[in-house]
């Protein structure tokens, strides 16, 4: 971007009456920066965070103004870092908050809710939230090509929303992703770079490309804006609970961005008086085969040591998480837990959610449910706590994970006697104990 364009954009934001975001601030040392496409503090190498004018938000935003807004994340626009009214609204957000009965009973919890981003629009994961914000901002910066380093869902989302917005798109993924994730990107016809390496290697390569190509990388140079989109997962839950904060949340951790931004969202709503403040306990979920934050939590360390991922939960397989340390701090400060579960437990988690609530999630959601179960069984969730489990992606994209662990259709002829024989056989098949689940 030229110096002249940058100056023009910063002036545009400063003069915008609707923009409530004011600057970028380093997470270490408080160094301040203009609202440019940058993500790292030059002095401390810490991530940059968007700061807002909360007095301005408090003066103009009420529960009623939000309720009168669009049925999407953009009803919370004053809390999002975009300067113009020309937002990309593809219907992202306002996904169901499901009050659980069967899963709750199974786990011995009385007030369990599932935030179901497995049905988020347009690409069936929470990433549509962060990408809607990032590409709106990318357009404001004047980028014509957008990109990302992705574990799968982000590539789906970036490609789809770039198509909608008419932006050129080139995404980078590890070469060994699930077929559904790859197809779910290719269908939008972007350039897809399948890198022979893990996500952390993809990410390093993308940082170099971002420096040389002048593209808008949603999770690199646009990361401070992009990550703010995850706060809408907190706002929606608060609104859907009748303008109250939950007592406890359980969410997956990959880079740690979603987990930390949910907490920021709750704090912001309390700060501007939309809800009563509360210390929401934040628990995090990782797969044992990639659990650098859970390991640090368990060992009482205040640093996160990078690991080499080896798990079926590819979408959350980030061995060197950018916000890992902040996630760790947040779990301790809020009296939450960060736990890890094995691949076998993840598969069980996927099946348990499907069989009790009718929600088919991917491996990240299986991880969340398995950790929820573990915490409930260990008494780390009070049965009376209003607990929200965040289901962030859809199971149809990671079918490989459950193949071989579910039943098979009974092949029959189109004849009544063939059906009757199969029905008799079905009664003898080993199946889940429905009595226990359904009661």
Ligand X SMILES: Cc1ncc(COP(=O)(O)O)c(C=O)c1O
Interface with ligand X by CB under 6 A: which residues? 125, 127, 151, 153-154, 252-259, 315-316, 362, 364, 392-393
Quickly list H helices, 36-118.
Answer: 54-60, 63-67, 102-107
Q: Determine which helix (DSSP H) or strand (DSSP E) holds 49, and give its type and residue range.
A: strand 48-52
Nearer to ligand X, 16 or 334 (CB): 334
Residue 288's CB is within 10 A of a number of other CB atoms, namely 20
Nearer to ligand X, 345 or 362 (CB): 362
Closest contact distance (angstroms) between CB of 292 and ligand X is 12
Instruction: List, in order, residues 6 or more apart from 179 with CB less than 8 Å away.
Output: 399, 400
Alpha carbon of 174 to those of 290, 315, 319, 343, 383: distances in Å? Answer: 15, 11, 13, 19, 40
Residue with smallest beta-carbon separation from ligand X: 393
Closest contact distance (angstroms) between CB of 291 and ligand X is 13
Q: Determine which helix (DSSP H) or strand (DSSP E) holds 192, and give its type and residue range.
A: strand 191-195
Closest contact distance (angstroms) between CB of 129 and ligand X is 10
Closest contact distance (angstroms) between CB of 139 and ligand X is 22
Nearer to ligand X, 111 or 394 (CB): 394
Nearer to ligand X, 231 or 351 (CB): 231
Nearer to ligand X, 111 or 126 (CB): 126
Closest contact distance (angstroms) between CB of 159 and ligand X is 14
Contact in structure between 245 and 278 (CB atoms under 8 Å): yes
Closest contact distance (angstroms) between CB of 243 and ligand X is 26
Nearer to ligand X, 13 or 304 (CB): 304
Q: At what angle do helices 363-377 and 343-357 cross, to 10 degrees?
A: 90
Counting beta carbons within 10 angstroms of the beta carbon of residue 370, is it exposed (0 to 12), middle (13 to 18) or buried (19 or more)? buried
Contact in structure between 262 and 285 (CB atoms under 8 Å): no
Instruction: List, in order, residues 6 or more apart from 49 with CB less than 8 Å away.
Output: 24, 25, 26, 27, 224
Nearer to ligand X, 155 or 274 (CB): 155
Q: Determine which helix (DSSP H) or strand (DSSP E) holds 390, and give its type and residue range.
A: strand 386-391
Instruction: List, in order, residues 6 or more apart from 351 with CB less than 8 Å away.
Output: 402, 405, 406
Closest contact distance (angstroms) between CB of 154 and ligand X is 6
Closest CA to 92 of 170, 153, 5, 167: 153
Nearer to ligand X, 162 or 173 (CB): 173
Closest contact distance (angstroms) between CB of 152 and ligand X is 6
């Amino acid at each position: 971007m030229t110096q002249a364009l940058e100056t023009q954009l910063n002036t545009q934001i400063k003069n915008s009456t609707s923009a409530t975001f004011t600057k970028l601030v380093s997470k270490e040392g408080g160094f301040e920066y203009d609202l440019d496409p940058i993500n790292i503090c030059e002095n401390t190498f810490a991530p940059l965070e968007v700061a807002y004018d909360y007095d301005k938000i408090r003066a103009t935003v009420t529960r009623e103004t939000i309720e009168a807004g669009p049925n999407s994340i953009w009803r919370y626009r004053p809390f999002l870092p975009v300067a113009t009214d020309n937002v990309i609204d593809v219907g992202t957000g306002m996904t169901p908050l499901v009050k659980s009965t069967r899963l709750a009973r199974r786990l011995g919890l009385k007030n369990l809710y599932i935030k179901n981003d497995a049905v988020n629009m347009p690409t069936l994961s929470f990433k549509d939230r962060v990408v809607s914000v990032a590409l709106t901002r990318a357009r404001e910066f004047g980028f014509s090509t957008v990109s990302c380093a992705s574990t799968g869902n982000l590539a789906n989302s970036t490609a789809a929303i770039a198509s909608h917005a008419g932006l050129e798109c080139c995404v980078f993924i590890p070469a060994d992703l699930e077929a559904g994730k790859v197809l779910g990107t290719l269908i939008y016809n972007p350039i897809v770079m399948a890198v022979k390496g893990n996500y952390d290697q993809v990410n390093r390569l993308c940082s170099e490309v971002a420096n040389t190509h002048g593209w808008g990388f949603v999770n690199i140079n646009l990361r401070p804006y992009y990550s703010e989109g995850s706060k809408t997962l907190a706002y929606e839950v608060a609104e859907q609970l009748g303008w109250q904060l939950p007592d406890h949340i359980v969410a997956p951790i990959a880079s740690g961005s979603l987990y930390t931004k949910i907490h920021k969202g709750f704090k912001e709503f309390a700060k501007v008086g939309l809800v009563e403040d509360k210390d929401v306990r934040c628990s995090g979920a990782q797969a044992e085969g990639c659990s650098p934050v859970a390991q640090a939590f368990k060992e009482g360390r205040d640093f996160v040591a990078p690991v080499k991922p080896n798990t079926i939960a590819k979408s959350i397989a980030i061995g060197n998480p950018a916000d890992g340390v902040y996630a760790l701090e947040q779990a301790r400060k809020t009296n939450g837990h960060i736990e890890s579960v094995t691949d076998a437990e993840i598969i069980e988690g996927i099946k348990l959610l499907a069989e009790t609530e009718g929600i088919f999630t991917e491996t990240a959601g299986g991880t969340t449910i398995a950790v929820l179960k573990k915490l409930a069984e260990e008494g780390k969730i009070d049965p009376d706590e209003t607990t929200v489990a965040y289901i962030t992606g859809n199971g149809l994209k990671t079918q490989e994970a459950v193949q071989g662990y579910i039943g098979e259709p009974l092949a029959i002829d189109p004849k009544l006697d063939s059906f009757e024989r199969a029905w008799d056989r079905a009664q003898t098949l080993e199946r889940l104990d429905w009595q226990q689940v359904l009661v």
